Structures are given as structure tokens and as C-alpha cells.
Structure 1
Amino acid sequence: MSTALRPAAKDRTNRENAVDDRPPHICVCVPTYRRPLLLGSCLCGLKAQDAKGFSYSIVVADNDVLQSARNVVDDARRQSSVEIFYCVNSIPNISRARNTALKHARGDLIAFIDDDETPHPLWLTGLYATYVQCAVDGVLGPVAPDYEGTPPRWLVESRLCERTSLPTGTPLSNVRDMRTGNLLFARAIVLGDEEPFDPRYGRTGGEDTAFFQKKLEEGRRFVWCEEAIVFETVPRERQTLRYFVRRAVLLGATAATRERRLGLSTIKSVAAANLYAVALPFALLLGYHHFVKVLVKDCNHLGKLLAHLGVKVVRERSST
């Protein structure tokens, strides 16, 4: 991608700086829940950002009424020249935590990163440069797994922990490629939204999918930045088949809440669930990692179908 600003991007930059000569400000929002060690690593990475062409601050939204993140934030604040603000959301709900962070954020741009992720030093710079060059409403980037210990071979070969990878500047139109764990967007796109992240998905997951679906329907444009990478810690408790099966069932059940019970998507899930079930023994012959991938896909569709029947095998996501 050319480094020269497109005319639309120049106009946007001029508008942002029309009031004064200060550079644009990015507020990085970090929702957290009882993961102080991981949060500490995340904040270390955020404090070390090589900011070019903008200033930035950090807002940590603690989703724990016991304020387990307060000491970590206080320690980080004492050792940083970057402004770090701490706030508490007393009801465990990831959507409410994200909304609380947004209410305390300042600046023209908002970034989101998860508390179990550590950003590359050029993370924000990459997101911001792509935002300006492409003249869009938001930019997303890749999330690479950082395994605790030596992961099982089937997990690495199945690539279940690997996320989307696309050329920088690629437009995004499928919510399956869009998550809030690595995101930058113009604050203007949430102005007027009392609760940009729907609390109904705050205990099950899927709040980011609902957010992006709404914004795409509003005509907002998002692109990809492959260089703006963050690394997600994958603890040992997430390196089990049970974890991925449980997550797949819950994601399927959550998807069912956004779809009509007798719609085309349900028909497709009925067909897919049967096809994947038949394919399981053949996948096993090809290798255990193939079996796992097919099983997880099957469980996703089964979770959706069971939810449509009023049966929810898994009701909340794990806090790990």
C-alpha cells in the first residue's frame, strides 16, 4: 500500500486537526477480569508503544467488583509516562465492561485489546497508519497464539488458535473475521449509542459479532492491517479438546439468538451437522487434528440447533 495519503484521508486528518495543532489522540480500552498477571504483561506492551503521529492513553475497565486489577494498574501508572485510567464495572459482563471503558475514554479514536494479549511495539502505529491511508471507520489486525508451555501437537496442527490473516487494506465484510481483541475505530461511529456492546451477550460471548454486524449494516467500513499484530496467551487450561468443544457449542447457541428459528441458516446447520457427523470417522483416518477440526465445527452447528429447540448445554463462557 502506498504511504501517500489519499485525498479523503487528507480531508479527514485536516478535519481532526482543525481545532488545534495537537495530534490525534487514541484511547486504548482494556476490559479485564481477574487476570492480574496477564493484564500486567498487556500494560507493559502498551506502555512501550512507538507512537508516531498521535498521542495515546489507556483505560482499564475492571470487571471484578473486588477490584483485583487495581494494584496492577497503580504499579503500571507509577512506571509510565502514558496516562492510565482505572474504572470498575461491578457486574461481571464483558459488554458492560467495554461500555464502561468507552464512557471513560477520551480522544478521536478508540482502540480495544484484551487483557490476555500483548501488542507488538508498532501495534498502534500500524493500525493508525492504515486508518489514515484507507480513510475508513475502523481497522482490525491479527491475533497470534502464544502458548503456555508446549501445546499438544493436535492443537498446533489443527490451527484452532490461529485467527484471520489478510493483506493490509483488505476490506472486511464478514463478521466471522472481525473481533474486538485487536481493533481501532473512529469514536464518531459509537456516538449516540447508549450501549454500543449489547449486554445480552455479556456472559455468553458474541458481543463483538453483534457490534460489527450493526456497524456494517450502518454502512461503516473496516479494513485489515496485517502488520498490527498482538499475541494472545493460550494457558494450559485452554489447550484441551473439552475447552474447544464447549466453546463451539456456546458460540452456536449464541448465534441462534441472532437468527430466525426456521430460517435458511437453520436449514444449513441441519445439513452441516449431519455431514460433519458422517465425516468424523474419515477425518480420524487422516489424522487426529483433522478429526478435532471436524468435531468442533459439528459441535458449533449442534449448539445452534439445540438452542433453537430451547436446550442450552453451555450457558456461559469460561472466564479463563
Structure 2
Amino acid sequence: MSTEFAAPDRAWVATSPALDCSIETIICIPSFRRPKHLRLTLESIAAQRTERRFAVVVVENDASRCEGAPVAAEYLTSGRLRGVCIVEPRQGNCQAINAAFETALATFPQAKNFLMIDDDEVASPDWLERMVQAAETTGAEIIGGPVWPNFDDEHKGGLKRHPAFAPAYHTSGPVPVIYGCGNCLIRRAVFERLGQPAFDLRFNFLGGGDHDFFARARRAGFRFFWVTEADISETVPESRTSLGWIVRRGLRIGAINYHIERKAAQTIWSRTAVKAKMFGLVPFSLLRFTRIVLKEQQAVIAMHPMVVAIGSALAVLGIEPQPYSASKIAP
């Protein structure tokens, strides 16, 4: 069994019997301290209604506790799922996702389709079939689908309309870009064009490496398509529906927006213009707050653009959250 990856310190901890490296569709699953949720994710993958051969690449991103790896090993060694589980010792959102994609690309050289689902998500039974079918029939290189929140606190159902939880689109068809990788399919050509590492490590603890990756893919001319029926549900614990968490999420989105625009700016003048724009968004967001609160009748939804604008301005000053640092993530 070969263990030659882009990073030599990534260890294989489990593999399915008689691993077939000619499989063309791979599902990548980064995992960090959510073994119970990971089991639900893998169970939904094992229950996919499709005749297509596919494999999984599970990345354990907590080398010290390693709670998810035994769960993945159970599905792989029993033959319920085909694929591999590896440990990525370098902690962080982008490190884990890069490890998944790089391992999948290297281990399955004939693979064309690389899907991703998070370890707190559950795929609908026809998810894989609909995603791959869309890639084959539309010619789009990147496919996205909705992630619907499943709130632990059933009284928070009104937050489904909040931008932090609502899908970007509600109709299937071509779209300008997608923003998150929690429900996506990426064709091999995208990785070959954009190079490695796929996700910029500058976003490793902030988040937003997916947003940056898709922004670069759009500038490179790749096409995007949205499949409303290829849905996934995400478990949302009570801690992520508190006002404090929602505000921090908005500040983080603002910081991500700033870093993506600054990264694309090539001159000192364009970078100065980006900084000025970030500060200018703050007073403009107050007007948006008034319009949205009259429409939605929920201040927590209306305040989102204002919080995002403040997050962008704070990022210009070097003040930003780091939610994907191990010290910031609750077990």
C-alpha cells in the first residue's frame, strides 16, 4: 500500500480491502472532534442511491485525540465504504481540506469528480447521483447545492432565513459562483489549473479558504452550476444560534471578504481603494439595516450586513476572529 502524499507526515490509519484506485468519483470528508456526527455523515454516504462506484477520503485533523479515525476505520475495514482515512497533523480548516483533496487526487489518478461534505452534515439519498449527473450534463466544472440547517433548538427555526444559514440560491441552474465547500463537486481540471495547495493557508484559522478558491476559479473562467435537489442537512447546535455566535460569524465573513478583495488587488492604489471601500461600507450598511428590518421584522437578520461591514473594517486594522484554531473550537 502506497502512502506517498504531498506531505510525508500524513499517515494512513485505515483503508478498505482491495482498494480500487481506478474509481472516478471521490467524496472528501475533513473531520475534527465530531465522531458522533461523523458517523451520521458516513451512514448517509453509505446509503446513497447510485450505481456509480465511489470512494471516500476521510481526514482526521486532530492527531492528539484522533476520535474520528476509529469511526471511519469501522466503515472502511468492514467494506461498507471504499476509500482511505488519513491523519493530517497540521491543524486548521485549510490544512484538513487540502489534505483531503491532495490525497484524493494522488490516490485515485483516474478520478474526475471530487465532492466534499463536512463531518456535521448528512447527505440526502440521491445527493451524489444528482451532483455527478449535473457535472456530466451541464459541463460546469464546479457544482454546488444547498445545506439546510437542522437546529438542535427547534425554537430557532426563524433563523433559516438568516444569511449565515440560508443557501445562496434557491433555483437550479447556472450561477456566477458558489461560496462554500460544504456541498460541492469540483472537477479535476480545476485543481490542475489553480495548483496546490488548493486552499490558501492564509485562511487556515479564519475560514473562507473555500470562498477564495471559488473566487479564483471564477476569475480563471470555470463555470458554476447549482442543483437545488442535491441537498444536505447540517446539524446546528444551540451554541451556534446565540446572538454572540451570529455576530462573530458576521464579523468573520467581513474579514474574509476583505482578504479576498485585497488578495486580488495587484497595485498599491488598488489595495488602498479596497481599504477605503471596506470603511465606506459601514455607513451604507446602516441604510440596509433599516430596509431589511422593515421587511423581515427580525433585527438579528437585518443587522447581518452591518456586522459584515464592521468585520471588514476591523480586518483592515488587523482585528479578526480565528474560529478554526483548536483553542477556539469546542469539543
- TM-score scaled by structure 2? 0.80
| Other-structure match for 1:298 | 306
> What is aligned with 1:319?
329
Using the alignment, how far apart are the partners of 2:185 and 2:125 within structure 1? 15
Structure 2 letter corresponding to 1:274: P
The question of whether the paired residues in 2 share the 8 Å contact of 1:119 and 1:229 is answered with yes
Deviating more after overlay: 38-47 vs 249-258:
249-258
Aligned mate of 2:145, from 141, 144, 147: 141
Partners of 1:184 and 1:112 in 2: how far apart? 7
**Equivalent position of 1:111 in the other structure:** 115
- Look up the match of 2:174: 171
Whole-Å Cα distance in 1 between the matches of residues 174 and 23 of structure 2?
Answer: 23
User: Is this contact kept in 2: 1:23–1:55, CA < 8 A?
Assistant: no
Once the two structures are TM-superposed, the CA of residue 149 in structure 1 deviates from its matched residue by: 3.4
- In structure 1, the residue matched to 2:283 is 274
Identity %, equivalent residues: 25
- Indicate if the aligned counterparts of 1:138 and 1:185 stay in contact, CA closer than 8 A: yes
Q: Would the alpha carbon gap of residues 288 and 65 (structure 1) be closer, same or farther in structure 2, given more than 3 Å must change?
A: farther
Q: Partners of 2:315 and 2:56 in 1: how far apart? A: 38
Partner of residue 17, structure 1: none
How far the C-alpha of 1:71 sits from its partner, in A, is 1.2
Gap change, CA 1:46 and 1:297, over 3 Å in 2: same
- The question of whether the paired residues in 2 share the 8 Å contact of 1:249 and 1:302 is answered with yes
Per the alignment, residue 244 of structure 1 pairs with: 246
Pick closer, same or farther for the CA change 1:313–1:185 going to 2, 3 Å: closer
Q: Secondary structure at the match of 1:315?
A: coil
* Alignment CA distance shift 1:219-1:298 (3 Å): same
Q: Give the alignment of 1:16-55 within 5 angstroms.
A: 25-52=24-51, 54-55=52-53
- 1:72-221 aligned at under 5 Å gives the runs 72-105=71-104, 106=108, 107-152=111-156, 154-156=158-160, 158=162, 160-168=164-172, 170-174=173-177, 177-191=178-192, 193-221=195-223
Unpaired runs of 5+ residues, structure 1, are 1-21
Q: 154-163 or 133-142, which moves further after superposition?
A: 154-163
Shift of 1:278: 6.0
Deviations 1:66-120 (A, max 9, x none): 2221111122224443213111111111111111112221222111111111001
Alpha-carbon distance in 1 for matches of 2:294, 2:145:
35
Post-superposition shift, 1:298?
0.7
- Which of these residues, 54, 57, 64, is aligned with residue 55 of structure 2? 57
Mapped to 1, the partners of 2:243 and 2:151 lie a distance apart of 15
Deviates more, 1:301-310 or 1:149-158: 149-158
Please report the RMSD computed on the Cα atoms of aligned residues, expressed in angstroms.
2.5
CA contact (8 A) 2:131 2:143 kept: yes
The one-letter code matched in structure 1 to 2:323 is: E
1:216-258 residue CA offsets vs partner (Å, 9 max, x unmatched) = 1111112111111111111111111111100111221222222
Partner of 1:191: helix, strand, or coil?
helix
C-alpha displacement at 1:138, in angstroms? 2.0
Equivalent position SS for 1:214: helix
What is the DSSP-based 3-state SS (H/G/I as helix, E as strand, rest coil) of the residue aligned with 1:298?
A: helix
Q: Is the contact between residue 147 and residue 234 of structure 1 (CA under 8 Å) also seen in structure 2?
A: yes
Aligned amino acid, residue 180 of structure 2: R
1:281–1:42 distance in 2 versus 1, CA, 3 Å: same
Say which SS state the counterpart of residue 152 (structure 1) adopts: helix
Distance change (3 Å), C-alpha of 1:88 and 1:282: same
Question: 5+ residue gaps in structure 2?
Answer: 1-20, 263-270
Instruction: Please say if residues 57 and 103 of structure 2, whose CA atoms lie closer than 8 Å, have aligned partners that are also in contact.
Output: yes
Which stretch has the larger CA shift, 251-260 or 206-215? Answer: 251-260
* Residue pair 1:151, 1:239 contacting (<8 A) in 2 also: no
Superimposed CA distance per residue, residues 110-133 of structure 1 (whole angstroms, 9 cap, x where no aligned partner): 111111110011000000111111
Give the superposition deviation at 1:272: 3.7
Q: Alignment partner of 1:259: what SS?
A: helix
Alpha-carbon distance change, 123 to 277 in structure 1, aligned in 2, over 3 angstroms = same
So what's the TM-score if we normalise by structure 1?
Answer: 0.83
Question: What CA distance in whole angstroms lies between the structure 2 residues aligned with 1:145 and 1:24?
Answer: 31
Assess if the C-alpha contact under 8 Å between 1:31 and 1:98 holds in 2: yes
**Segment of structure 1 superposing worse, 136-145 or 147-156:** 147-156
- CA distance in structure 1 between the aligned counterparts of 2:57 and 2:229, rounded to whole angstroms: 24
